[in-house]
Amino acid sequence: MKFSAKGLLFDNDGVLVDSLPAAVAAWNEWSATYAPGWNWGEAENSGVRAQDMVLRMVGEARFAEANDLINRLELETASNTVPMPGAIELTSSLAPGNWTVCTSAIAALGRARLQAAGIPIPRELVTGDDVANGKPDPEPYLLGAARLGLEPEDCVVFEDALAGCQAAFDAGVGLIVGVSESALDTPADIVVRDLSGITFDGQELYIPDRNRLR
């Protein structure tokens, strides 16, 4: 399938990089102190900023110390991040200025995970530190499009999480591509297994039919 577009906006975790084992280790250690028995792996937590989850779980009184701990733990495990299939090939082929990453991670963590996975870090990177409101609010994707000098409707978003797809939908992007089986439960326009075989020349996005799940 072919789609017209001017820019690509990627979520990071679960789309470009596999940081799940690293994140699970960090959050399990964090929850042992601040939220015993809490299941971080629930779908509602996927794609959401850590600081927003921490505030919801512990409240304002303990927020600073709890947030500092999860940031430290996630940075300590970031080196265990690996690329998702097709991610290096696709991002390495893209021209600077027509794609970026919009991640819920803080800047240091987002950069550390991209670097560990061997993914190029775009100049226009959007992190959780850059926005007042994280996903599912549309602000991250609105900012990503703005940093590329594009209108949201001219952009394609690649997402795996419900919160991220909601953010992309509310931002008014032209197409939402869900990545992995987890995206089958989101309102993504189409869903692919991974990024393998996908190409973009700055005007046309090509997605091989063999890679589509929906």
| Active site (catalytic) residues | 11, 13
| Three state DSSP letters for 42-95 | CHHHCCCCHHHHHHHHHCCCCHHHHHHHHHHHHHHHHHHCEECCCHHHHHHHCC
For 78, the token pair is 């970031």
Give the single-character DSSP code of 102: B
198 and 207 Cβ atoms separated by less than 8 Å: yes
H or E element that contains 199: strand 199-200
| Amino acid in the structure at residue 131 | V
The owner of tokens 């008014």 is: 172
Count the alpha carbons within 13 Å of 69 in the hemisphere toward its beta carbon: 19
